Amino acid sequence: METTFGDVWQEVLTTQAEPEQWIVIAAAALALAAVLFNPVWRVGRNVVTIAHEGGHALVALLSGRQLTGIRLHSDTSGVTVSRGRPSGIGMILTVFAGYVSSSIIGLLGILVLMTDHITALLWLSLVVLAAMLLMIRNIYGVISVVGTGAIVFAVSWFTPTEVQAAFAYLFIWFLLFAGVRPVFELQRQRVRQPSPHSDADQLARLTGLPGTLWVMVFALVNIAVTGLGVWLLLIA
């Protein structure tokens, strides 16, 4: 039987049954393990880098800057380049957005999951990845974004709703939890190999406030957002 665009659209917008609580808890436990277990983290951190650079890019556009390109690297670092005023609130917000993006995206995903639009969440992720792909300027970045998108598409298109639900919760839990660890990695890197190019040190130059203070702000925001996400899904 031929599948039409209308059929696909209806499937995307249809609500799915909320999974059993043990699935939500198991997904949270697996996501936390993925953040803490170094071999898995080294792979999963690429997804965090996509969220990080995507946050820079989105806020740059919203603040009126001209986005020129995004590069993702195999060491899980990344660079987002935009044109505009080299100082001011727009630049400050653009630089600030990176380290808080993963946790905030995770929280927004939780809000969508609470409406039972599981397939819609997966397809929204695909739309965001497709938009980001247009601005990628290196081969590894293309591979990283396309690979992530291929996994999300395969789950949303070829698996039953129960598997989609488990994957969606795992994916969102991971983004929520994964926002915290890079902040501590940032501070360790600043101590061992100081660099004027880190987000915290760029914010220090833009605001006159110490870079370490900005690291603490990143940490506080991500911990607070993570706590709210846990409360919404497991306690509220």
In our burial notation (b when 16+ CB lie closer than 10 A, e otherwise), range 151-188 reads: ebeebbeeeeeeebbbbbbbbbbbbbbbbbbbbeebbe
Strands (E) across the chain are located at 66-72, 78-83
Q: Could you give the CA distance from residue 83 to residue 74 in angstroms, rounded to a whole number?
A: 25
What stretches in the chain show pLDDT beneath 50? 1, 5
One-letter amino acid at 161 equals T
Q: Name the helix (H) or strand (E) containing 204.
A: helix 199-207
Which residues, 6+ apart, have CB-to-CB distance to 223 below 8 Å? 180
Burial of 235 (0-12, 13-18, 19+ CB in 10 A): exposed
pLDDT of residue 2: 54
Q: What is the pTM of this model?
A: 0.93
pLDDT of residue 3: 56
pLDDT of residue 134: 96
pLDDT of residue 219: 98
**145 with 194: CB under 8 angstroms?**
no
pLDDT of residue 126: 96
Q: How far is CA 227 from the centre of its chain?
A: 17
pLDDT of residue 14: 76
**231 with 22: CB under 8 angstroms?**
no
Burial of 95 (0-12, 13-18, 19+ CB in 10 A): buried
pLDDT of residue 194: 84
